[in-house]
């Protein structure tokens, strides 16, 4: 584990909690009730009411009774959908048919590190990764290196960068996030070039694609690297989950596909640590993937709208300050986060603000506004991530009486009624307004004011 990476992770955690380096709370943190958080990575809105009702029906179904571990049972319809989804990505059936389900993508990463214990693996991850990868590597005492990528390629890893890292650092395992944590999507050409390097050097690849399904353009599908590994099936695993595109973060269902041997190993480890997955959770995910296409589409359109709000707000802030203090060259095409580049401040503040952590701490103290330091995502300089999707989340909850009525109808007829999919569009769009307002005000007022005061000092 790189000391630089671990320090960035630990420092970011302390700052977001309002703690000093000793862990003592000394200023406002993202979890405080009076802090406006643009750091939380929850869902875009309340799960679709049909998904909730599917969970209610599952609880009442004695086939899924919680007194039974339900070891070795399967949700055939959901598993068929997962396999077909991987095939739709262009992944050959020899990989797509081999799946493992687990308690979220986190459980799969835990299984990966467990599988490689004591094998001396050397891991590489490019910028814009999930921050907890650092913690997992540290817990298992594994060697993780970050390839700090460049804005010129949207912070995506290039084949040239990978080849150089493999040669210089003896890398044998690659973690690739696609889409990235700041919303970049790798192209087929980029993935093909990376695949050639991985195959040449016998690199094992684990692709985290949990943000697939959140593409802003509903005609776009995130390309998958596994399509180039048909002849090398045990050298790649593709991971997805229900947390992001279905807003089921707390339900904890993830899945992956790959070659026979690697998937069998991961399945064995997952089942040893958690003998079974809640059938209630699986039924909720099944209903979502089979029926909630419009719900997913509307969420992605809202995320695209919020990305535009951020871009427009930054433009106005820069005009107000008379300088391009914030750079938004790197714009998301998927996901729930937007990277803001404040490298201008490093020189403008004479080094008082030189990292994302420095800026986030200042904003928490000055305006009780929380952004996420990008230091722990593999970025250098002064950069932060705006987690825009969850802003105003509680305002998206539909009227509880409506949800109860759908649930009662479900219980009466023994299935989720079609009326669950006919929620008036007005309710979906209006309920996003509060979050948009909070996001816009936090940037145009709180952030702008804090920057203006900072540049005066």
- Digit-coded pLDDT (tens) for 237-248: 999 999 999 999
Judge whether 146 and 3 are in contact, CB under 8 Å: no
Per DSSP, 444 falls in state I
Instruction: Tell me which DSSP letter residue 446 carries.
Output: I
The domain over range 3-47+294-393+431-456 is classified in CATH as 3.90.1150.10: yes
pLDDT at res. 429: 58
Q: 201: helix, coil or strand?
A: coil
Spatial separation of the C-alpha atoms in residues 3 and 146, rounded to whole Å: 11
Per-residue model confidence (pLDDT) at position 401: 83
- 436 closest CA partner among 392, 394, 384: 392
What is residue 22's three-state secondary structure?
Answer: coil
Q: How is the chain split into domains, by residue range?
A: 3-47+294-393+431-456, 67-277
Q: How far is CA 109 from CA 5, 31, 106, 143, in A?
A: 18, 26, 5, 15
Q: Give the H/E segment covering residue 221.
A: none
Please report the pLDDT score of residue 430 as a whole number.
73
What is the predicted pLDDT for the residue at 1? 57
Name the architecture of domain 67-277.
Answer: 3-Layer(aba) Sandwich (3.40)
| Residue at token pair 């050639």 | 196
The answer to whether 280 and 197 have CB atoms below 8 angstroms apart is: no
Residues in the chain: 457
Low-confidence spans in the chain with pLDDT less than 50? none
Task: Give 39-50 pLDDT, tens digit per residue.
Answer: 998 889 999 999
CA angle 275, 62, 423 (to 5 degrees): 95
């Amino acid at each position: 584990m790189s000391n630089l990476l671990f320090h960035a992770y630990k420092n970011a955690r302390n700052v977001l909690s309002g703690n000093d380096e000793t862990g003592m709370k000394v200023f406002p943190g993202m979890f405080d009730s009076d802090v406006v958080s643009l750091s939380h990575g929850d869902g875009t809105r309340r799960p679709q009411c049909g998904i909730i009702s599917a969970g209610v029906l599952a609880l009442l179904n004695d086939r899924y009774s919680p007194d039974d571990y339900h070891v070795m049972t399967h949700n055939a319809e959901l598993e068929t959908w997962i396999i077909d989804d991987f095939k739709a990505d262009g992944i050959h059936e020899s990989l797509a048919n081999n799946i493992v389900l687990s308690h979220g993508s986190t459980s799969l990463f835990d299984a990966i590190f467990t599988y490689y214990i004591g094998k001396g693996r050397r891991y590489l991850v490019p910028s814009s990764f999930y921050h907890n990868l650092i913690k997992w590597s540290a817990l298992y005492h594994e060697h993780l290196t970050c390839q700090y990528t460049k804005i010129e390629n949207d912070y995506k890893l290039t084949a040239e960068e990978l080849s150089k890292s493999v040669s210089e650092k003896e890398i044998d395992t690659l973690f690739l996030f696609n889409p990235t944590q700041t919303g970049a999507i790798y192209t087929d050409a980029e993935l093909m070039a990376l695949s050639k390097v991985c195959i040449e050097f016998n690199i094992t690849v684990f692709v985290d694609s949990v943000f697939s399904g959140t593409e802003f353009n509903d005609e776009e599908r995130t390309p998958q690297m596994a399509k180039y590994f048909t002849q090398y099936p045990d050298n790649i695993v593709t991971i997805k989950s229900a947390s992001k595109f279905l807003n089921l973060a707390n339900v904890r269902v993830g899945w992956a596909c790959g070659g026979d041997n690697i998937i069998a190993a991961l399945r064995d480890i997952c089942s040893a640590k958690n003998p079974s997955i809640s059938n209630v959770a699986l039924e909720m995910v099944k209903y979502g993937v089979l029926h909630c296409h419009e719900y997913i589409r509307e969420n992605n359109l809202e995320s695209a709208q919020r990305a535009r709000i951020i871009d427009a707000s930054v433009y106005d802030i820069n005009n107000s300050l008379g300088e391009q203090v914030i750079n938004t060259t790197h714009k998301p095409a998927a996901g729930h986060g937007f990277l803001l580049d404040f490298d201008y401040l490093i020189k403008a503040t004479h080094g008082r603000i030189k990292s994302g952590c420095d800026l986030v701490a200042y904003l928490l103290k000055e305006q009780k506004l929380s952004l996420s330091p990008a230091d722990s995502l593999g970025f250098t300089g002064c950069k932060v991530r705006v987690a825009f999707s969850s802003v105003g989340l509680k305002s998206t909850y539909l009227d509880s009486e409506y949800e109860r009525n759908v649930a009662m109808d479900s219980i009466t007829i023994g299935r989720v009624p079609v009326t669950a999919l006919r929620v008036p569009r007005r309710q979906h769009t209006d309920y996003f307004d509060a979050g948009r307002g909070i996001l816009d005000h936090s940037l145009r007022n709180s952030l702008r004011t804090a920057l203006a005061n900072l540049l005066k000092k």
